[in-house]
Amino acid sequence: MIISIRPLIILVGAALAACNNDSGESTDSPTGSTSTSTTDGTGTTDDTTTDSPTGGDSTTMPPTTGETTDGEPLTRVEKILAALDVAMYECPERIWPDVEANYRARQVLLASESENRAWVWNYQQGDGEPPRVTEGPLDTLPPEWTAFFNINQLGGALTLGISLDGTQETNEAIMMNGGVVWPDFATALIFHEGFHFLSDQNDWNVGNGSRSAPYPEPWEPRYLRAQLLRSLLAEVHGEDGLAAAAHWRERLLSEHADEMAASRRYDCTEGSAEYASLMMSALAELGCDAADEELLALAVSHLADGVFLGGDTFDSGREFYDLGVLSGLLLRRDAVPGWELKVEDGDPPADLLLADVAPAAQPDDGALQADAQAAVDARNMVVGAEIEPMLAAMQDPQFTRVVVSMNWIAGSFNVGGFYYLAEDPNQSEVFLTFSATMDPPSSVPIAIEGLTVLAGVATPCVLSGGNAIVLTVPTADIALAGNLATTTNPKVQFTDLEVELTMDDDNLSWLCPTDAGGSNGAPAPQPELELHTLRAPGHGQKAVLRPRAASRVGHGQSPE
């Protein structure tokens, strides 16, 4: 059975909550030191703690042999930490070049709310042989570190936070669906997201792109990508598949050039991260001295588990990862020199693999075409059942349009998918079944649950385009008292949010929060954001918004 585990950019699905405390108040660390947190408006918090972030002692994990420590079975945490020791500290460059120095200067925090414990791997302070581990109470840290995923400064070092509770739920879901848990999903997620954020993938020269699918979505690209994946998988298993793969890639480039150009960035970034996660998992199990043939054999043996390879899902969001895994395995098998650095420079792994392969004409597979069309038609029906009522509400005088900012998202949000309106000249962006908690500068919380919304569109408010999200709420569900608005609609809730009421050219009503400049004031500064989608279980997506690289605080440095 295929288990759908895929990365998402905004944290759709499970919550990656982050602390959005704008007060600037300090909190006492368990060591009696003072730490301060400031938010950058994206839901991540810059922490300036200078002492032990958890208040525990810094230690070096005892050496492990196989599945035991001192004759006792390893705990789940010990297994995860042992895997990080090997694949992210001892020999990460067995998998990808020029990452060791970055990994050794960064930290990973494992958080368990159920046990109120936090473990910081490769703790950059204290004594002892690295990679050091410090352990202490989780509730002494800012709340963002309880999230499913978090990336921020902690104790002056860039730190990736992962929830032990949330990832264990994923492990259990995989097993309940008949899948194989290899490795622990926490380990796989650390390897994948760590490759993105701790190895400095943000300095790659991969250009821009889009992960949004068109609505309505055509089925033909999904069929051709499925054929490409099938051919690559056949080659991985020792059959002759490269010439066929070159044929399907050639058709994609000639028949769907725009989509191929838009996906190029993510074929590089997500494909390489998933390949690295798979190979680091094999490295963690076999150790630094394992032969390359052993690493490849172990990795290939786990493709059927359904975690690192999705099968014929006809899901454009999954294809980036699967193509990266299969192409990376074959490039490694063939010992292609310098291919990793070419990926960093914007050449997708599949393009590098097939660049010199002569295509061999292939017949179409009618059954696979029918499967692809049926899957996409069904998805269009489900998506349309959300998008069409939202578009109707946007034009309905019985609804009020409320404009909010992406900057206010507290940590993460869940979505059913990212789409754009293919028949709209502006190709407006849609977040399907969007759920988030927002914390605007006025600290009036805004709760959104399962509402399909337009994003980045023009509005009559000061907040328009860019980071604007438009919520459609029945006017009957909104109470106005002067300039304070309250709604208890099941999908949108806030109390006494200060707004300015305005009308557009079609005499439709809009509420413009004064936190974002209202309807006439000067706009509040809006940092340029980028969306990162995480590996996530199920059909929803999990993602987080972060400032673009040029506007971020430097890695490994506390903010001013």
Reported as a single tens digit per residue, the pLDDT across 509-533 is 999 999 999 996 544 444 455 656 6
Same domain for 78 and 133, yes or no, is yes
Same domain for 318 and 461, yes or no, is no
Handedness of CA 366, 372, 375, 376 (dihedral sign): negative
Contact 488, 480 (CB under 8 A): no
Same domain for 345 and 408, yes or no, is no
Same domain for 415 and 491, yes or no, is yes
The full 3-state SS of 93-126, as one line of letters, equals: HHCCCCCHHHHHCCEEEEEECCCCEEEEECCCCC
Domain-located, residue 197: no
Same domain for 124 and 259, yes or no, is no
Handedness of CA 332, 336, 337, 343 (dihedral sign): negative
Domain-located, residue 460: yes
Domain-located, residue 303: yes
H or E element, residue 530: strand 529-537
pLDDT at residue 81 greater than cutoff 60 = yes
User: Residue 88 and residue 79: Cα distance in Å, rounded?
Assistant: 14
Domain-located, residue 68: no
Average pLDDT over residues 312-333: 95
Task: Name the domain boundary from 367, 384, 407.
Answer: 367
- The Cβ of residue 28 has, within 10 Å, a number of other Cβ atoms equal to 10
Same domain for 155 and 299, yes or no, is no
Same domain for 289 and 404, yes or no, is no
The Cα angle at residue 440 between residues 436 and 443, in degrees rounded to 5: 105
Q: Of the given ranges (73-77, 184-188, 380-384, 525-529), which has the lowest mean pLDDT? A: 525-529
Same domain for 239 and 156, yes or no, is no
Domain with 299 in it: 213-367
Burial (CB count <10 Å: 0-12, 13-18, 19+), residue 287: middle
Same domain for 224 and 340, yes or no, is yes
Domain-located, residue 208: no
User: Residue 554 and residue 560: Cα distance in Å, rounded?
Assistant: 11
**Per-residue pLDDT band at 544 (split at 50, 70, 90):** low
User: Residue 25 and residue 207: Cα distance in Å, rounded?
Assistant: 39
Indicate yes or no: pTM above 0.85. no
Domain-located, residue 32: no
Task: Name the domain boundary from 367, 387, 403.
Answer: 367
Q: Which residues contact 11 (CB under 8 A, 6 or more apart)?
A: 148, 149, 411, 412, 413, 414, 533, 534, 536, 541, 542, 543, 544
Task: Dump the DSSP string for 40-88.
Answer: -SSS-EEE---S-SSSS-EEEPPP-BTTEETTEEPPHHHHHHHHHIIII
pLDDT at residue 14 greater than cutoff 90 = no
Of residues 10 and 428, which shows the higher confidence score? 428
Task: Name the domain boundary from 490, 513, 536.
Answer: 513
What's the gap between Cα 54 and its chain centre?
26
Judging by DSSP bridges, how do beta strands 468-474 and 399-405 pair with one another? antiparallel
Reported as a single tens digit per residue, the pLDDT across 463-516 is 999 899 999 999 999 999 999 999 989 999 999 999 999 999 999 999 999 999
Overall number of domains in the chain: 3
Same domain for 335 and 232, yes or no, is yes
Same domain for 227 and 358, yes or no, is yes
- The Cβ of residue 333 has, within 10 Å, a number of other Cβ atoms equal to 14
Domain-located, residue 467: yes
Check residue 52 and give its pLDDT. Answer: 44
- The Cβ of residue 389 has, within 10 Å, a number of other Cβ atoms equal to 13
Residue appearing with tokens 């010439």: 243
Same domain for 219 and 165, yes or no, is no
Of residues 368 and 17, which shows the higher confidence score? 368
Domain-located, residue 57: no
What percent of the chain is predicted at pLDDT more than 70?
80
